[in-house]
């Protein structure tokens, strides 16, 4: 029978050492899973913000184009936030008919009625509901949208579209 001495080599690990190693590994895994989750959440929100910016840029180009060819512009409820399903925010008389911008739940919809009686619809959808206001001062047409954020992690968003009615067009037909 051989006896091991005090400094002899051991072959296994004690239960305490295994528990310490497992605890350290689980802390590292939990931290890494949390970081991966945060990076995916941040990436998803960034994608939504970029989509909102692209939609706002598309809306701005179309709105300015519509206002520049306007014969007459009318803003119903100017300066007051509009509720979805209500009257149009802006009505623009163009040579071929008229264009109106309506507020829907999470989108702003452009309706174009041509002289032949056809109606064309284009929707500008945002990731969250906007509060929109419209105003017209005789030369400049302004369409402003705001999202107030109640969460510190989601930013406030604002869209301010301003377009000038052509001076020649305003002299021709004027605006009410």
Taking the C-alpha atoms of residue 133 and residue 66, their distance in angstroms, rounded to an integer, is: 17
* Per-residue pLDDT, 111: 92
- Contact 101/73 with Cβ under 8 angstroms? no
* Per-residue pLDDT, 103: 87
Backbone angles phi, psi at 107, to 5 degrees: -145, 165
Q: Where are the domains of the chain?
A: 25-172
Backbone angles phi, psi at 13, to 5 degrees: -120, 150
* Per-residue pLDDT, 5: 59
Taking the C-alpha atoms of residue 171 and residue 162, their distance in angstroms, rounded to an integer, is: 20
At residue 20, the 3 state secondary structure works out as helix
Q: How many CB atoms lie within 10 A of CB 104?
A: 13
Tokens of 101: 């911008």
pLDDT per 10-residue tile (average), the chain, 176 residues: 62 89 97 96 90 92 91 71 67 90 86 87 87 86 81 73 71 46
DSSP category for residue 166: P
* Per-residue pLDDT, 101: 92
């Amino acid at each position: 029978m051989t006896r091991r001495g005090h400094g002899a080599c051991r072959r296994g690990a004690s239960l305490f050492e295994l528990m310490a190693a497992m605890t350290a590994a689980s802390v590292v895994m939990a931290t890494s899973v949390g970081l991966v989750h945060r990076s995916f959440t941040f990436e998803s929100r960034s994608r939504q913000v970029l989509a909102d910016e692209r939609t706002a840029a598309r809306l701005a180009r179309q709105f300015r184009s519509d206002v520049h060819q306007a014969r007459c512009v009318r803003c119903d409820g100017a300066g007051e936030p509009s509720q979805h399903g209500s009257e149009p925010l802006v009505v623009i008389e163009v040579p071929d008919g008229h264009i109106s911008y309506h507020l829907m739940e999470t989108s702003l919809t452009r309706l174009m009625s041509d002289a032949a009686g056809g109606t064309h619809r284009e929707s500008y959808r945002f990731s969250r509901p906007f509060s929109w206001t419209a105003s017209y001062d005789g030369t400049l047409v302004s369409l402003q949208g705001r999202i107030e954020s109640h969460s510190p992690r989601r930013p406030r968003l604002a869209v301010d579209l301003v377009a000038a009615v052509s001076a020649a067009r305003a002299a021709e037909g004027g605006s009410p």
